[in-house]
């Protein structure tokens, strides 16, 4: 899943159902992440329903990316979110790893071509 483009969000507040639909997850997961990650603190409307801001959705973007796409544990994601530079470092390291893998595959291909000649 691609990250949610915060710039395209037009409303001030989003319901828990709308946020769950954005990330294609159950509302229970949104509530669970809210409890696990203290940086998410949605406001409640007069009925007592959670309402999420674009900042909350941006945080969910980060959590979703770390947990669902990169395979972090909840504890690992918490640590990464606390240290933004670490998150950047991890992303840079993953890009570097991918570049190395690509270069090694190219070398392997060239070696196999030389072997076959």
Q: Residue 51: its pLDDT value, please?
A: 93
- Considering the segment(s) 8-82 as one domain, its CATH architecture is Orthogonal Bundle (1.10)
Cβ neighbours of residue 57 closer than 8 Å, sequence gap 6 or more? 4, 6, 9, 14, 19, 22
Q: Residue 98: its pLDDT value, please?
A: 82
Would the pTM count as exceeding 0.75?
no
Every domain of the chain and the residues it spans: 8-82, 84-117
Rounded to the nearest 5°, which phi and psi values hold at 15?
-75, 165
Residues paired with 14 in a beta bridge:
52
Residues paired with 44 in a beta bridge:
50
In 3-state terms, what secondary structure has residue 14?
strand
Q: What is the mean pLDDT of each run of 10 residues along the chain (117 residues)?
A: 72 90 92 89 89 89 87 86 66 76 92 92
Identify the helix (H) or strand (E) that includes residue 79: helix 74-82
Residues paired with 15 in a beta bridge:
51
């Amino acid at each position: 899943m691609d990250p949610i483009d915060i710039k395209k969000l037009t409303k001030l507040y989003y319901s828990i159902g709308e946020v769950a639909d954005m990330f294609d997850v159950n509302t229970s997961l949104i509530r669970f992440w809210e409890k696990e990650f203290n940086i998410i603190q949605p406001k409640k409307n007069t009925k007592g329903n959670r309402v999420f801001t674009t900042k909350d959705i941006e945080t969910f973007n980060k959590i979703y990316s770390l947990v669902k796409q990169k395979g972090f544990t909840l504890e690992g994601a918490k640590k990464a979110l606390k240290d933004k530079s670490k998150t950047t470092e991890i992303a840079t390291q993953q890009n570097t790893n991918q570049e190395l893998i690509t270069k090694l595959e190219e070398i392997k291909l060239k070696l196999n071509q030389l072997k076959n000649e």
